[in-house]
């Protein structure tokens, strides 16, 4: 299981993620999709 709580991230002064909570249970698949430059790798 993977559990994330209260995650935030940014580039310098630009905040791109705020207070993200995520739980992935065993056997589940999760995909993060979005356009280029949207912060998926962050």
The model's pTM is 0.61
Average pLDDT, the chain: 91
Q: Where is pLDDT greater, at 42 or 40?
A: 40
Domain assignment of residue 20, given as a range: 1-42
- In the chain, the percentage of residues whose pLDDT exceeds 70 is 98
Structure tokens at 27: 């056997």
Confidence of residue 5 (pLDDT cuts 50, 70, 90): very high
Confidence of residue 10 (pLDDT cuts 50, 70, 90): confident
Q: Supply the pLDDT for residue 21.
A: 97
SS3 (DSSP) at 13:
coil
Rg (CA), the chain: 12
Domain count, the chain: 1
């Amino acid at each position: 299981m993977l559990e994330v709580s209260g995650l935030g991230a940014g580039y310098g002064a630009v905040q791109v993620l705020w207070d993200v909570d995520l739980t992935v249970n065993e056997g589940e698949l999760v995909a993060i999709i979005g356009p280029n430059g949207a912060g998926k790798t962050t």
